[in-house]
Amino acid sequence: MLSVRCPIAMMTVLAVSFGLAIWLFYLQGLQGAQARQKAEGLWLRRIDLAPARGNIYSRNLQLLATCQLTYSVWADPYTLQNAARKIWGQQLSNTEIAARIARSLCSLLKTPRVSEKDLVKRLSQTVRNRSNGKPILIRFVWLARQLDEATIRDLKRVLEVRREKELAPQWRVLKAGIGISPEMRRIYPYIRLAAATLGFVNLDNVGCYGVERDWDEVLRGKSGLMELEVDALGRPIPSGYYIHSSPKQGDSIILTIDDQIQKVAEDVIDEAMKNFLPKSASVIVLDPKTGDILALVSKPDFDPNEYYRFTPERFLNRPLSFVYEPGSTFKPIVAAALLDSGVINERTTARCDGIWKTGTFSVRCWVVQKGSAAHGVETIADALKHSCNIAMAQFALRSSYQQIYEKLSKFGIGRRLGVGAGFEEPGWLDPPQQFLSKEATRHHQATLAFGQGVAVTPMQLAVAYAAIANYGKVMKPRIVKGVKSEETGEITWFQPKDLGNAVSPLTASKIRNMLVSAVEEGTGKRAKLDGVKVAGKTGTATKVVNGRYDPTKVVVSFFGFFPADSPKWVIGIVLDEPTYGKWGGEVAAPLFAALGQQILWRVQPPRPLSLTQDLTALSFFATSPDDLQRQ
């Protein structure tokens, strides 16, 4: 009998041992990584440490964006629930515990940014499901972000008490699973100045819109990490595992923006928003020789310090994203293309009789709408001075569409320019192969000559005018002048980028002189500046509504530069659907003069008697004794 039992016992022992071996192999070999991860989730606490972002400076080294030390409150819901049951009793539900903790926290923080309802929601849940359906413990949640030191003072005092026996039960619970971490908050000292250009940073230190988004990799720095071993109540173990890597601050960038010019540009446009009530307005000030953007205004704007109070539409940088048919401000660009191609010269003429009819389409000049006399025989200079649609259409049809398309593309029309200051639209310029018939091409070519059938952004048109001011040379527009390394303190300066010549220097000089006449004698008289010659062009573009041009909805604009003989500043002003004023010559041209005069005052101030005066756009809206044409 004994001889039978021994083999059976041995086989049983072997079977159990073999089963245990397989089970241990499964746990340690196949499930080892998951088991370790689960264990670490219980005894190891990880906290990401956000770095300080680099600063943003103007070209004059004025601080436009920086970081401020704040404090954020976090919690370990799993540890809080366990500690609460040991102190308050096992019978309490997760929601009841969360409600008690929320009341205690609110009594310490005393800020409207923290609500009991929100805290209960965050603290009552200790487990969540992964995408594969398996549960995972919640060991970290944010309760309040970026609070000032005064707000967290009482909570900090409770958490720093070393003898827990001296604390009331509710404070002992908080101490078990509540923590405070330093965190950097982005601040913008000039509030709304260049808001759409700068963009903003969200709570997770991610750049959103504008320069903050496009240069996020440079600015954001490198996150740090803190890992520490905790006991069953979530308390750090003094001799336990601990690792800390400090965050590294991001590099700073120096913009091309001139904060003084930016300020006066915004003041002028703020006044225009009140007087004309447009849907939106854009202003660009460029240095034509370098492509530096000296001012970039988008209205209506927002406060990047409190971006969450505004609708997303306000975050768009309209000089880069607003796409519209440019109307008459496009005529000088087409004229430059035609002259440079050699299909016309300064003596070539066309005739305007108010209405010009061809076999398949007709063109009307603005004089019909105004009830003025037709322009008659005109050269290309006359067509620009009078802003004549018919003459421009006739001149354009002397060229092939392929020639015009190639020249306009060199100016930067129809493509993104890569400014780096927020989302940028490419606009559109139909390629030659777009049209199936010869007549369709001729019709498009005729309307393109006076800025219809093509769409641009204000930046694209400003760059094209800058090329004319810069002897035909196109400079890439840039918003960042240099990057300062926070580690070494060295500044890497970026060089202006030449994109090549759109037209010859001779052609650019001819167009420049024609634009001077357009201001001195033509539709842009209200853009004149005292003692300085201005070259520029007005524009009034009718918008398409439900497939048809609606004369009651217009985009008015003025683009120009000064001094005309040696241009230093290119200014583009665009107002979308102004409620009052329907012509570029009566709305946008005076704004150009107001801004231009402010810029000149900063370069060469007026006599001491006038130093206390504040020049505003209103001074340029007085009725002129001349019978001004408006377009």
**Which CATH number covers residue 438?**
3.40.710.10
Lowest mean pLDDT among 7-11, 429-433, 463-467, 478-482: 7-11
Q: Based on the domain organization, do 230 and 298 belong to the same domain?
A: no
Lowest mean pLDDT among 165-174, 348-357, 526-535, 582-591: 165-174
Letter for the amino acid at 228?
Answer: L
> Of 255, 276, 292, which closes a domain?
255
Contacts of 107 (CB under 8 A, 6+ apart): none
Q: Based on the domain organization, do 208 and 282 belong to the same domain?
A: no
Domain membership flag for residue 537: yes
Q: Based on the domain organization, do 450 and 523 belong to the same domain?
A: yes
Domain membership flag for residue 24: no
> How far is residue 399 from each of residues 138, 382, 446, measured CA to CA in Å?
70, 19, 10
**7 or 569, greater pLDDT:** 569
Please state at what angle helix 116-123 crosses helix 94-109, rounded to 10 degrees.
Answer: 140
Confidence at residue 200, expressed as pLDDT on a 0 to 100 scale: 95
Residue closest to 536 by CA, chosen among 546, 550, 522: 522
φ, ψ for residue 33, nearest 5 deg: -65, -40
Domain membership flag for residue 268: yes
Q: Based on the domain organization, do 100 and 158 belong to the same domain?
A: yes
CB 339 within 8 A of CB 383: no
Over residues 78-94, the mean pLDDT reads: 84
Would you put residue 461 in left (φ > 0), alpha (ψ -120 to 50) or beta?
alpha
Q: Based on the domain organization, do 371 and 383 belong to the same domain?
A: yes
Q: What percent of the chain has pLDDT over 90?
A: 47
CA–CA separation, 30 and 283 (whole Å): 64
Q: Token match 């393109």: residue?
A: 448
Q: Based on the domain organization, do 173 and 313 belong to the same domain?
A: no
φ, ψ for residue 595, nearest 5 deg: -70, -45
Q: Based on the domain organization, do 154 and 299 belong to the same domain?
A: no
Q: Based on the domain organization, do 371 and 408 belong to the same domain?
A: yes
Residue closest to 295 by CA, chosen among 320, 271, 266: 266
Confidence at residue 616, expressed as pLDDT on a 0 to 100 scale: 42
Q: Based on the domain organization, do 263 and 176 belong to the same domain?
A: no
Confidence at residue 623, expressed as pLDDT on a 0 to 100 scale: 40
> Of 204, 226, 255, which closes a domain?
255
Q: Based on the domain organization, do 317 and 410 belong to the same domain?
A: yes
Do strands 56-57 and 252-255 pair parallel, antiparallel, or not at all (unpaired)? parallel
**Helix/strand/coil (H, E, C) string of 107-121?**
HHHCCCCCCHHHHHH
Q: Based on the domain organization, do 343 and 250 belong to the same domain?
A: no
Residue closest to 542 by CA, chosen among 529, 551, 530, 533: 551
CA–CA separation, 374 and 219 (whole Å): 58
Contacts of 157 (CB under 8 A, 6+ apart): none
Contacts of 179 (CB under 8 A, 6+ apart): 47, 73, 74, 75, 76, 159
Q: Is the pLDDT of residue 36 over 80?
A: no
Q: What is the mean pLDDT of the chain?
A: 84
Domain membership flag for residue 376: yes
Confidence at residue 94, expressed as pLDDT on a 0 to 100 scale: 84
Confidence at residue 30, expressed as pLDDT on a 0 to 100 scale: 54
**156 or 269, greater pLDDT:** 269
Domain membership flag for residue 37: no
Q: Is the pLDDT of residue 78 over 50?
A: yes
Q: What percent of the chain has pLDDT over 70?
A: 84
Indicate the Cα dihedral angle 558, 563, 568, 573, nearest 10°.
-10
Confidence at residue 465, expressed as pLDDT on a 0 to 100 scale: 97
What global pTM score does this model have?
0.82
CB 77 within 8 A of CB 140: no
Q: Based on the domain organization, do 283 and 251 belong to the same domain?
A: no
Would you put residue 126 in left (φ > 0), alpha (ψ -120 to 50) or beta?
alpha
Q: What is the DSSP letter of 29?
A: I
> How far is residue 510 from each of residues 214, 290, 565, 567, 612, measured CA to CA in Å?
38, 22, 12, 14, 40
62-76, 236-250, 616-630: which is most confident: 62-76
| pLDDT band (50, 70, 90) for residue 619 | very low
Indicate the Cα dihedral angle 450, 454, 457, 463, nearest 10°.
-60
Structural domains in the chain (count) = 2
Domain membership flag for residue 227: yes
For residue 199, give its domain range. 45-255
Confidence at residue 198, expressed as pLDDT on a 0 to 100 scale: 96
| pLDDT band (50, 70, 90) for residue 290 | very high
| pLDDT band (50, 70, 90) for residue 91 | confident
